[in-house]
Chain A
């Protein structure tokens, strides 16, 4: 489904990605973990080119992502759901509008879009909040709107960039619940960047550890947490034991 080879990205002198290779199969749930600043966000933003990599190849569903022109890229992006750490909702739109506006702009009939929007909102438990605006919601609710927005297009792949990292610990649970439910009930391929170790162990089919712009270890959760081979892996194992 997703095949990343030798991906490089620098910000000026700073190397953020230093030859990343990653393979994600269709329907698979992969969790990427690693210390802050190791390049996780950069990596998954490169997948739909929210960030332009400097070198390497990315193939998504057989398409060479980096060679796409503007409109093809936009088509591709519609098939990729992206959930942001900061939710990134459109502040002036209502909850429902946030979930459906891109459907309408993509050419969908308004009624259909609205109907779909309501149903996804119901799925993330926000049916009652559709007329509210993002700033009237709690962080957890906002992130559930973000999830609904990504979900509403029935994406082939969902990319999660630390969806719970900016939430109160109390609110983390409600988001993780939704995520877990999604992983279980949909066949969508998931690439999740998170620090939630127990969540990772529970839902991931594969764990990828990153450090300093490289993939340093990967494997099934049972293996990597039990016998980590990398420094990063050992740190997470310690977290899990605690």
Chain B
């Protein structure tokens, strides 16, 4: 089939391919370049030209006008020759670019931005953008001055300015960026911060343990000259620490709120932290701590029965969805939450009853007073009665003749009654009525009215409000079930896993050759007797490209990706417009020629190879020449993609560019050579592409 090209068309094809690749590369790169330039200009418009401005002042939008006036005033007064430009306003924040005249672009000025601009209305912060400069981020405070001294001694460095946790190294000329960056990096490499992190819950005296750790380190006898310093500092990330502390509190609160799960393990059952256990009723619990015979766990799936009593269930090893393993022991679940809720409910009831009670009590006191008064009256009547009785007695005794059996009986009865009565009230052993008369009824009345007053106070207390408040407390108790609590705790733990709370981290500065922190981990664990500590190594600072450099890097990436996409699109277009014509011609020739061999040889359709080869050749070369780079698209992948596209187009050639078989056959019958057939018959009416265009130079008709 490829014989078809032998009489000359292959030359046309090679020229076509070369021009295709050149055009493709120019096209892809050209558009990418246009994008580059466009965005580059936009960028300059946004953040000024290189070195034009030194600081971005962030101002609240509403104070913009006032700020501008003030900035102008400061500029005229302190920095004659200053430059200022209002840039974008983002999220209510206006940004002013301020450039100092060269003689004011000094360390003193740049470190005193706050004192110069602190009073500008609406100012909320600033960002240094001095150019040319090298930015070192996250400079450890313990080495900052040391670093600064060394860096300022470098050639091409004018000075270094502290900007928050960063160090801005201001250069004399932008040519120096690369050399200074390299030099700074090698200075940074002389330092290493070795961090010992203790898991949460360990309170560590950083000074003492730090010094201990230093001793351990020195005792290692590591080769090479090094100095070691304990630089544990709280200056690092205080906000984060506060946040972490709050998280720990939160976790502990949640923990105390969850059901307490205790396992009494079977002697044979070896339980480890993190193991899952399924209970009879389907609850799933996770072991959180093993302390000898006592194993603690928390519920991670399902909710236990609501009960203030202890629930005991059999526990089995959880082997995955719906499967349970051997019995590992009994599991007790106690739920403080339900108890709390129960207690609250009970006190609410109590309060309601108390209110009721106070009303009843005050009624009772009122009644008691009434009784007292009645009692006093009764007492007076009793006195009268006593007198009358004495007279009666005397009368009876006086004329015994007159005394009748009836009267005598009455006397006895009255006396007895009276005595019983008096004794029943106050058993003083005195003469009954006397003692009755001795009762301090006034005092009694006073104390009664005192009680009544107190009951009144109780009633005045706003019990309803208290009930409401307690009800509110009850309602705000988190409406979480155990599984949710368990998951929250797990989540917090996962997050805290990588974090450390202040006082639980020790930082050692190592100057000299870096040490292998993982190798030392075991040593520290042993020597400091804490198997849970971990060691990490961090640098004392990181050189990062400045904002503009970063933007340009991103821009370059975008450019490469766009170029890559264009290369792919270009290849598809070229394959469809140009090569489909060639393929459909070849397919016609193949079909009218000698029959295709069957079997394996027939499968090895040369179209696959030609299509694939053309596709990968075009795509790969255009991609390469356009300096494309699409993430995750390695060169072999591009070759493969080109091959695939080529094969696809070869197989679908007639769809894209059908060949006019009648014209072709006529041309053959007229004795035209293949190259003539291509140039005069096949290509001229084909789709307008490079092939068609280039063919115009060869075409005779």
Contact = CB atoms under 8 A, between A and B. Distances in A.
Interface in A48-68: 48, 50-52, 54
Interface stretch (B19-27, B389-397, B516-524, B589-597): B589-597
B665 A71 contact: no
Interface in B251-278: none
A8 B660 CA distance: 27
B590 to A, nearest CB: 11
Interface stretch (A73-81, A181-189, A199-207): A73-81
B700 A80 contact: no
- Among B660, B668, B669, max chain A CB count under 10 A is at B669
B701 interface: yes
A222 to B, nearest CB: 33
Contacts of B674: 70
A10 B3 CA distance: 23
Nearest to B660: A91
Nearest to B674: A70
Contacts of A105: 672, 676, 680, 700
B595 to A, nearest CB: 7
A226 interface: no
B468 interface: no
B665 A50 contact: yes
Nearest to B661: A88
B669 A101 contact: no
A119 interface: no
A70 B700 contact: no
Interface in B1-34: 3, 6-7
A184 B56 CA distance: 100
A143 B667 CA distance: 16
- Among A50, A51, A82, A105, max chain B CB count under 10 A is at A105
B545 interface: no
A90 B668 CA distance: 12
Contact of A102 (B7, B592, B671): B671
Contacts of B592: 50-52
B662 interface: yes
Given A101-B701, A105-B672, A90 B667 contact: yes
B681 interface: yes
Contact of A88 (B7, B662, B701): B662
A89 B666 contact: yes
Interface string B548-570: 00000000000000000000000
A8 B568 CA distance: 47
A70 B592 CA distance: 15
- Interface bin, chain B: 20 to 34
B453 interface: no
A40 interface: no
Given A70-B3, A70-B674, A50 B593 contact: no
B701 A97 contact: yes
A92 interface: yes
Nearest to B592: A51
A90 B669 contact: no
Nearest to A146: B666
B666 A90 contact: yes
Given A54-B595, A70-B6, A102-B670, A91 B685 contact: yes
Given A71-B7, A105-B700, A149-B670, A52 B680 contact: no
A104 B672 contact: no
A80 B669 contact: yes
B662 A84 contact: yes
Contacts of B665: 50, 84, 88
A77 B666 contact: no
B663 interface: yes
B7 A90 contact: no
A105 B673 CA distance: 9
Nearest to B7: A70
- Among B595, B665, B700, B701, max chain A CB count under 10 A is at B701
B669 A82 contact: yes
Nearest to A9: B595
B662 A78 contact: no
A70 B5 CA distance: 11
A123 B7 CA distance: 35
B672 A74 contact: yes
A89 B701 CA distance: 14
B289 interface: no
A86 interface: yes
Contacts of A102: 667, 670-672
A125 to B, nearest CB: 21
Interface in B638-667: 660, 662-663, 665-667
Contacts of B672: 74, 102, 105
A106 interface: yes
- Among B666, B668, B701, max chain A CB count under 10 A is at B666
5 contacts: A10-B595, A74-B673, A92-B685, A93-B701, A105-B676
Given A82-B670, A89-B663, 7 more contacts: A70-B674, A77-B668, A80-B669, A82-B666, A88-B662, A89-B666, A102-B670
Interface of B: 3, 6-7, 592-595, 660, 662-663, 665-674, 676, 680-681, 684-685, 700-701
Q: Which 10 A-B pairs have the closest CB atoms?
A: A78-B671, A77-B671, A88-B666, A102-B670, A82-B669, A88-B662, A74-B671, A101-B701, A105-B676, A52-B594
